[in-house]
Chains A and B, each alone.
Chain A
Amino acid sequence: MSELHHIGLAGAAAGLRARRFSSVELAETFLKRIERNQETLNAFISVTRAQALSDAAAADRALAAGDGGALTGVPIAHKDLFCTRGVRTTCGSCILDNFVSPYDATVVAKLKHAGAVMLGKTNMDEFAMGSSNETSYYGTVRNPWDPRLVPGGSSGGSAAAVAARLVPGATATDTGGSIRQPAALCGITGLKPTYGRVSRYGMVAFASSLDQGGVLTVSAADAALMLREMAGFDPNDSTSVEREVPDYVALLGEPIAGLRVGLLKEFFDKGLDPGNERRVREALKVFESLGARLTEVSLPNLPLSVPVYYVVAPAECSSNLARFDGVRYGHRCEQPRDLQDLYRRSRGEGFGAEVKRRIMTGTYVLSAGYYDAYYLKAQRVRQLISADFTRAFASVDVLIGPTTPTPAFAIGAKTADPITMYLNDIYTIGANLAGLPAVSVPCGFVGKLPVGLQIVGPHFSEARLLTAAHAYQRATDWHTQVPEGYA
């Protein structure tokens, strides 16, 4: 484990500052691993080798001069829905196959400003709509723990890349579980911040009241560092919250003795794989041994979170994706007869099957005569779910439960029935509906496959979640396990 690719994000930052290795050396190490494993894992859509090496050389000069930020010279990857100036940004879709972004997303700009070096753009479900990475126009990403299995989604490329140690950290986004579910299935740490904590400017929009950018890393300590550099108010995002960003790294060592942990009763239901349940209950024992106090908590409306989500998210998606019209950017059909034909064929050809399904679901639930029965009803139930969380957080500091019902499943196993796929996010969607932060950390294995533990907290409690996750990771070594063949 002494090799450079096991260094981790915080380790890379510290090693670079101490000049134990150069940024060019680090970038070259990871680029070689990305290129060597691309055929097997398909984790990247674009690899920006030349730019990365030139940025790394510039980082080395800055470090030599004693300059630089918190991440100067540290290699990262961006999920391919963050706009990157001058670099292709596809969102995993044919309709954006040729789109070169004219600007940087705020997250990209902030990480650049902190000195991070981008190695490439990671594969993902088309427009982040999927839980298995199988809807990507660029092909399925494979799980490094077993290439016959999915890595989870939609941030499957970012998760597989970090798990296989192709990059020490990657950005990701979470609309219904797209950071936490792949983190769980790939055996890494994934944090979805509070809605409004991280700017959505330059993030290709899917469901604007649910989307939130976050991080995928090996450890909670790495996540704390990356989030600290990414988070913060952005006047370019009207839903960004004007609130100071705590120093998540400095707060990591806080004790968790006395932490009031709520066990989410609804998460330990009949759908939970017994193997996953055992691992999660063992993890709860670890928290108890660290001084946490456990109580069972019930959120009675939580079982309705998946139906709420599959009204609200498609509704917002149908509005957001109206911008893809074959006129200003993206795919345009050949020889349009008239403007309507141009719209209909450009969109029909450019969007994949799942994206079309969600646009149509959203169009239906927003259409005249159905709006009240579906959309408004869902927003009312969403209010009930949010109130359940508020009530729970009056008596506990965090809620803990499984991230997913099962470990990673086989490629193709859930593509026939969309509902089966949607139910994979049953434990993660609640946090999105209520805008809450949540983290998934590895908590053991079922067979050879990793299992994720989810910690959900009140709004803007990222520091508390990271501290709890870090305390757990100091007491266990699940997060340091590397898939066979990637050591």
Chain B
Amino acid sequence: MALTREQIESIAALARLELSAAEVPVYQDSLSRILDFVGALERADTASVAPMAHPLPGLSQRLRPDTVTEQDRHAEYQQNAPLTAAGLYLVPRVIE
């Protein structure tokens, strides 16, 4: 299966990844080869098999009571942020 340049650009757009012009053919080649490789799965007969949802049989996601357990540590967390002001994360203007 050969992916086109346009397909790679559309996947990159969905994944919010900026690719350079030089990167596009590299991923075109390797993603095509990966999809060929995983194409081997088609041969497996899975007509009556349910998709696996959890690695441990019989277990599913545990739920917890809907109560507040977190403390307010936003000042500490925001020390890792590239840009903040007045306790808020700053991004470029979204609404004109």
Contact = CB atoms under 8 A, between A and B. Distances in A.
Interface stretch (A215-223, A270-278, A345-353): A345-353
Given A360-B27, A364-B11, A435-B55, A339 B17 contact: no
Interface in A89-108: 98-100, 102
Interface string B54-94: 11110101111000000001001101111100000101111
B4 to A, nearest CB: 13
A329 B11 contact: no
A268 interface: no
Contacts of A351: 17
B92 A337 contact: yes
B13 to A, nearest CB: 8
Contacts of B59: 196, 241
B31 A364 contact: yes
B11 A363 contact: yes
B52 A99 contact: no
Contacts of B51: 376, 379-380, 382-383
Interface string A344-386: 1101110101001101110111010000001011111111101
Contacts, number: 175
Contacts of A329: 77, 80-82
A311 B38 contact: yes
Interface in B21-49: 23, 26-27, 30-31, 33-35, 37-42, 44, 46, 49
Given A239-B61, A332-B82, A379-B52, A339 B92 contact: yes
Contacts of B57: 386, 390
A384 B82 CA distance: 46
B80 A360 contact: no
Given A327-B89, A342-B91, A311 B41 contact: yes
A356 B91 contact: no
A21 B94 CA distance: 61
A99 B91 contact: no
Given A307-B40, A361-B31, A377-B41, A209 B55 contact: yes
A327 B52 contact: no
A340 interface: yes
Nearest to A338: B92
Contacts of B27: 356-357, 360
B18 A347 contact: yes
Nearest to A348: B18
Given A332-B83, A380-B46, A418 B34 contact: yes
A381 B52 CA distance: 8
Interface of B: 8, 11-20, 23, 26-27, 30-31, 33-35, 37-42, 44, 46, 49-57, 59, 61-64, 73, 76-77, 79-83, 89, 91-94
Given A304-B41, A348-B20, 10 more contacts: A102-B79, A209-B55, A322-B16, A327-B91, A328-B81, A339-B92, A339-B94, A348-B18, A357-B31, A384-B46
Interface of A: 98-100, 102, 194-196, 209-210, 235, 238-239, 241, 301, 304, 306-308, 310-311, 318, 322, 325-332, 336-345, 347-349, 351, 353, 356-357, 359-361, 363-365, 367, 374, 376-384, 386, 390, 417-419, 422, 433-435, 459
12 contacts: A102-B77, A209-B54, A304-B41, A307-B40, A327-B91, A338-B93, A347-B15, A348-B17, A382-B52, A383-B52, A390-B57, A419-B37
